[in-house]
């Protein structure tokens, strides 16, 4: 067997009457939909329920799968400890997922558990399911900071492991939608909030899982969603399957979006291998961009690829085909930024020139961005086809007297306080205001909001 059905559900603790004390009536439609989901799962009688939760243990570069034979949890955090759960884990399925993830080079496993207790992202679905059905074992998986494509791949591994162990599996993707839908909500309002909810409900109501990859990370962050990666993992578990899809409900009365959709597997569909389609399309776009890139980017790419493959910095003579006279006769600071699958993978640069010419500046900074950015592991050779690179050449910084002289789309900023200094390039996705720009630069420099600062601005010539 394999994954026989999947469900997209929210996890507001207040929907549990012992927690809500009447407030749960605000989301009565969501309650009714949850009851229907629970009855459907009881009818299917799965051997195992896999729940991915944004509130399980989360790492930036690793998927945590809960270890051990069993777990318990309660709503004590929400003053309802009398609502408790005890569940057995499917250790055989967990072991198979770990093994297959390792063979597929996916960073996932049972290491690094910090809290064995069930989280509310798991317990809210269990509260409804257990009303009707308890004869199941659980697999509990956290999301990660890895790209959406990795979440989809892990979902595919879950499906394969389910098939190889002969399990009838129901997948529950636990996740709220935007937390910024209403001004009176606990997180306030952002225009991206309603837009996210509208888009995600449209995508999931059509099971158009290929479109899940189109949600920009900065957009999701501004919408303050918590379930997107969980939904992508679910989509991976349904890769290549034909589905009967029903959108049951969507509510936003509390300022947080709650959406419920059901996905019944009805057979195979070779047209629904969405990760393959996504990667093929992305590879085509990257190849086209590579062909269209200018000499600065070609030099950065050539130098970092040479270093990653050989462990040695490339010689200027080996770059004669891409080096221009301007690069050889100009000295300037430069930043090399590397992205992979829409996420920053490395960015290192110099504010002022440190080499005798711009060509050497770019070569050195490209290697550093790929291998020495302390925020990331060094780039590996297998990643090279997926890298998107740009080079920013900086003008000389000029002191300014006020933040009013900044424009985050036009100017980069250097924030200094004593020996501490933070820099932020201009025209970055998700940085739309001067306050945001200065605040981020402060954080990069380790400068608190209370410390006095001096400001400099600069422009860049961006090469793509």
Write out pLDDT tens, residues 224-241: 999 999 999 999 999 999
pLDDT at 126: 98
* Cβ(432)–Cβ(390) below 8 Å: no
Please say which residue of 233, 249, 277 terminates a domain: 277
Radius of gyration of the chain (CA): 25
pLDDT at 218: 87
316 and 253, same structural domain? no
Q: 120 CB contacts (<8 Å, ≥6 apart)?
A: 11, 13, 55, 75, 77, 78
Cα-based distances in Å from 46 to 137, 199, 267: 9, 31, 17
pLDDT at 343: 87
Question: Which tokens in the block code for residue 227?
Answer: 């379930």
Give the pLDDT band (50/70/90) at residue 105: very high
420 and 322, same structural domain? no
E strand map for 294-397:
334-340, 343-349, 387-394
Question: Which tokens in the block code for residue 18?
Answer: 């012992």
Residue 284 included in any domain = no
* Cβ(437)–Cβ(448) below 8 Å: no
99 and 75, same structural domain? yes
- Report the domain count for the chain: 3
Please say which residue of 371, 387, 403 terminates a domain: 387
pLDDT at 342: 83
E strand map for 106-175:
108-109, 137-142, 169-174
- The candidate with the shortest Cα–Cα distance to 302, out of 281, 327, 268, is 327
459 and 314, same structural domain? no
82 and 31, same structural domain? yes
- Average pLDDT over all residues of the chain: 95
Q: 411 CB contacts (<8 Å, ≥6 apart)?
A: 426, 457, 458, 459
pTM over 0.85: yes
Tokens 């629970």 — which residue? 38
Residue 335 included in any domain = yes
Residue 283 included in any domain = no
Residue-wise over 378-412: b if at least 16 C-beta within 10 A, else e?
ebeeeeeebbbbbbbbbeebeebeeeeebebeebb
- CA dist., res. 342 & res. 97, Å (int): 26
- CA dist., res. 137 & res. 90, Å (int): 5
| Other C-beta atoms lying within 10 Å of the C-beta of residue 30 | 23
Give the CATH number of the domain where residue 119 resides: 3.40.830.10
406 and 371, same structural domain? no
pLDDT at 117: 97
230 and 144, same structural domain? yes
| Other C-beta atoms lying within 10 Å of the C-beta of residue 315 | 11
381 and 415, same structural domain? no
Please say which residue of 356, 387, 418 terminates a domain: 387
pLDDT at 76: 96
Residue 287 included in any domain = no
pLDDT at 396: 92
Q: 41 CB contacts (<8 Å, ≥6 apart)?
A: 5, 7, 49, 129, 132, 133, 170
Give the pLDDT band (50/70/90) at residue 155: very high
pLDDT at 1: 73
Give the pLDDT band (50/70/90) at residue 429: confident
Cα-based distances in Å from 216 to 147, 370, 371: 11, 23, 25
- CA dist., res. 70 & res. 65, Å (int): 13
Write out pLDDT tens, residues 107-152: 999 999 999 999 999 999 999 999 999 999 999 999 999 999 999 9
20 and 59, same structural domain? yes
404 and 269, same structural domain? no
271 and 185, same structural domain? yes
Helix axes 120-132, 28-44, angle to 10 degrees: 60
Give the pLDDT band (50/70/90) at residue 430: confident
* Cβ(313)–Cβ(303) below 8 Å: yes
Tokens 């302390």 — which residue? 374
Averaged pLDDT for residues 90-103 = 98
Give the CATH number of the domain where residue 356 resides: 3.30.700.20
Domain of residue 349 covers 293-387
167 and 86, same structural domain? yes
Write out pLDDT tens, residues 280-326: 999 999 999 999 999 999 999 999 999 999 999 999 999 999 999 99
């Amino acid at each position: 067997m394999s994954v026989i059905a999947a469900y997209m559900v929210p996890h507001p603790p207040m929907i549990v009457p012992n927690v809500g004390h009447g407030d749960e009536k605000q989301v009565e439609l969501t309650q009714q939909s949850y009851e229907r989901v629970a009855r459907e799962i009881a009818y299917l009688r799965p051997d195992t329920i896999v729940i991915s939760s944004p509130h399980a243990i989360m790492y930036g570069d690793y998927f945590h799968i809960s270890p051990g034979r069993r777990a318990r949890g309660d709503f004590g955090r929400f003053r309802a400890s009398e609502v408790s759960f005890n569940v057995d884990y499917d250790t055989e399925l967990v072991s198979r997922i770990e093994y297959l993830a390792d063979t597929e080079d996916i960073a996932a496993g049972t290491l690094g558990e910090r809290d064995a207790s069930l989280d509310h992202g798991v317990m809210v679905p269990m509260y409804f399911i257990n009303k009707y059905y308890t004869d199941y074992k659980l697999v509990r998986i956290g999301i990660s900071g890895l790209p959406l494509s990795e979440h989809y791949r892990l979902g595919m591994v879950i499906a394969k492991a389910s098939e190889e162990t002969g399990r009838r599996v129901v997948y529950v993707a636990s996740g709220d939608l935007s937390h910024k839908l209403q001004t009176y909500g606990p997180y306030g309002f952002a225009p991206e909030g309603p837009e996210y909810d509208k888009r995600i409900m449209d995508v999931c109501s059509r099971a158009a899982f290929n479109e899940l990859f189109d949600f920009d990370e900065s957009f999701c962050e501004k919408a303050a969603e918590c379930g997107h990666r969980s939904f992508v993992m679910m989509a991976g578990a349904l890769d290549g399957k034909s589905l009967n899809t029903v959108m049951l409900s969507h509510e936003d009365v509390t300022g947080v979006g709650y959406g419920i959709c059901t996905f019944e597997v009805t057979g195979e569909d070779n047209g629904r291998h969405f990760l393959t389609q996504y990667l093929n399309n992305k590879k085509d776009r990257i190849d086209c961009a590579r062909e269209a890139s200018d000499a600065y980017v070609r030099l950065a790419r050539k130098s970092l690829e040479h270093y990653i493959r050989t462990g040695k910095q490339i010689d200027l003579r080996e770059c004669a085909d891409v080096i221009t006279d301007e690069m050889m006769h100009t000295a300037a600071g430069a930043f090399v930024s590397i992205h992979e699958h829409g996420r920053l993978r490395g960015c290192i640069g110099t504010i002022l020139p440190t080499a005798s010419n711009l060509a050497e500046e770019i070569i050195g900074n490209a290697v550093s961005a790929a291998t020495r950015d302390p925020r990331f592991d060094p780039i590996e050779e297998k990643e090279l086809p997926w890298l998107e690179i740009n080079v920013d050449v900086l003008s000389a910084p000029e002191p300014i007297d006020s933040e009013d002289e900044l424009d985050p789309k036009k100017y980069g900023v250097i924030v200094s306080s004593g020996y501490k200094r933070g820099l932020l390039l201009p025209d970055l996705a998700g940085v739309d205001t001067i306050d945001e720009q200065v605040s981020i630069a402060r954080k990069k420099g380790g400068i608190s909001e209370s410390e006095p600062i001096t400001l400099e601005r600069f422009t860049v010539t961006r090469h793509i």
